[in-house]
Amino acid sequence: MNHKRQPTSNLCFLCGKDNPHGLKIVWYNDYDKQEVYADIAFSEDYRSYPGVTHGGIVAAVLDETSGRATMLDNDFNNLMVTLKLEVVYKKVTPTNTPLRAVGKVIRGTKKRAQVTARLMLPDGSVTAECTALVYQMPGEYKDRWGEEAIEWQRTQAL
């Protein structure tokens, strides 16, 4: 297996290790498949209805997973932000169930990319998927990151 953990943040809602309300998701690069993935199980804290993960949470995970596909080389400079996101919900995403989020680049350059992601149940069936357009984050925003940038760079080496 040719896999490596992706960098994380301190306070990001999705990956932030120090965010008390966050999901603390860890993404990995799968170099053989040219994909990123994360294994997740949403607690009832992230539900809409009993046993059902809120669609906004599902969309956020798909957004992050698809965008992280641009960082298969773990280069912080390749971190992009979303310009357009289209989510298709195929079936209920249950809480308290192991799920896998998988993302990949469809096509792209260093400045923008078309990416995709899907959220799957243990049997491989897809609960939701997205396509997105992402673009390189403007430098003036990265310049404000301070401690967050240091954490990304520190965990980039893991």
User: What are 25-72's pLDDT values in tens digits?
Assistant: 999 999 999 999 999 999 999 999 999 999 999 999 999 999 999 998
**Predicted local distance difference test score (pLDDT) of residue 158:** 61
| Global confidence as pTM | 0.92
The region of weakest confidence among 3-17, 19-33, 99-113 is: 3-17
**Contacts made by residues 114-121, CB under 8 angstroms, sequence distance 24+:** 115/66, 115/67, 115/69, 115/70, 116/66, 116/69, 117/61, 117/62, 117/63, 117/65, 117/66, 117/69, 118/62, 119/58, 119/61, 119/62, 119/65, 119/93, 121/94, 121/97
**Predicted local distance difference test score (pLDDT) of residue 151:** 73
Domains defined for the chain, CATH in brackets: 3-146 (3.10.129.10)
